[in-house]
Amino acid sequence: MTRQRELIYRIVTAAPEHRTAEEIYDLAREEIPSLARGTVYRNLGLLVQAGQIRKLEMDGAPARYDRDPLTHPHLICQRCGRVEDLTMPEALLAPLAEDLGEPITGYELKLYHICPACRG
Amino acid sequence: MTRQRELIYRIVTAAPEHRTAEEIYDLAREEIPSLARGTVYRNLGLLVQAGQIRKLEMDGAPARYDRDPLTHPHLICQRCGRVEDLTMPEALLAPLAEDLGEPITGYELKLYHICPACRG
DNA sequence: ATACGTGCAAACGCTTTGCACTCTC
DNA sequence: GAGAGTGCAAAGCGTTTGCACGTAT
């Protein structure tokens, strides 16, 4: 754990925000101005691989990073891209998986809305 | 509807496959060899906007196009990227949306597995 | 003739990567 | 002093776009 990686991890996990690599990069440079963008991407990748954080691909927008590595659904504002975590009764998905007769290795559920702030 | 757009639409809707732009481009050039990649992207975009087909963003892989424009879940092979359509009892999502007390403008549900072919 | 669509190639945005250097153990 | 991690800049990849030309009304 280098200073850089520790900082990046701290930024992702400190707040419930789901930030983009660029946002993390900007925040991190307040503390380590020499930090390189590549280092941010590299470390985010490593943290994801290590199961410490989660990457959220965003449909035509930069990916965002979630401090909670466990699978759970997200509520996404279609206007500003803000992401909120949802809690999902596992029971909800079970019947669907059962119908398939297929072992499911994971899932991804995104709900879209216009957040109160954007609704005005 | 030009010849090119008609062809692209036909390729997407003819088969249940969820093809990438590149695959569609290759297939289309068998019929119109002069077809440009840009034309494929442009027309796919227009068809999506017109609500005739649906674009499926694929998490770090090229997008795929679905002949069914209606929202429905997908079963995706993590190894080869193959996509199958699922039918989702609307009733399943309703309680979740209700809990939010938020108007949902859309959803996206992806289930992941290793398809029989890849499982060997 | 007028508007829309095409082919081509260059640009774009996000992300990854090769490299030489610098830490750390 | 060996191995991992960094900063930098260039490349990569899927996709988009500006432009001049073609094509269909």
Instruction: Specify the CATH number for the domain of residue A33.
Output: 1.10.10.10
Longest pairwise C-alpha distance within chain B: 53
The partner residue sitting opposite B92, judged by closest CB among A73, A75, A96, is A96
Q: State the amino acid at position A94 in one-letter form.
A: A
Distance from CA of B80 to the nearest CA of A (A): 14
Longest pairwise C-alpha distance within chain A: 53
pLDDT of residue B17: 97
Q: What radius of gyration do chain A's Cα atoms show? A: 16
State chain A's mean pLDDT as an integer: 93
Chain D, protein-covered positions (CB within 7 A): 5-10, 13-18, 24
Name residue B20's beta-bridge partners.
B64
Distance from CA of A9 to the nearest CA of B (A): 22
Flag if A111 and B104 touch (Cβ within 8 Å).
yes
User: Domain limits at B106?
Assistant: 74-119
State chain B's mean pLDDT as an integer: 93
Assess whether B8 and B30 both reside in one domain. Answer: yes
| Residues of chain B (28-57) having a beta carbon less than 7 angstroms from strand C | 32, 34-39, 42-43
Helix, strand, or coil (residue A11) = helix
CATH classification at residue A106 = 3.30.1490.190
Q: Please determine, for residue A98, whether its predicted confidence score (pLDDT) is greater than 80.
A: no
Are A4 and A43 in contact, with CB atoms under 8 Å apart?
yes
CB contact set of B43 (below 8 Å; sequence gap of 6+): B4, B5, B8, B9
Are A7 and A40 in contact, with CB atoms under 8 Å apart?
no
Assess whether B19 and B35 both reside in one domain. Answer: yes
- The pTM score is 0.94
Q: Work out how many domains chain B is built from and give that number.
A: 2
Q: What is the torsion angle, in degrees rounded to the nearest 10, for the CA atoms of residue A110, residue A113, residue A116 and residue A117?
A: 80
Q: Please determine, for residue A109, whether its predicted confidence score (pLDDT) is greater than 90.
A: yes
A29 touches strand D (CB under 7 A): no
Helix, strand, or coil (residue B78) = coil
Assess whether A47 and A11 both reside in one domain. Answer: yes
Are B66 and B18 in contact, with CB atoms under 8 Å apart?
yes
Q: Please determine, for residue A19, whether its predicted confidence score (pLDDT) is greater than 90.
A: yes
For the ranges A97-106, B46-55, B93-102, B103-112, the maximum mean pLDDT occurs at B46-55
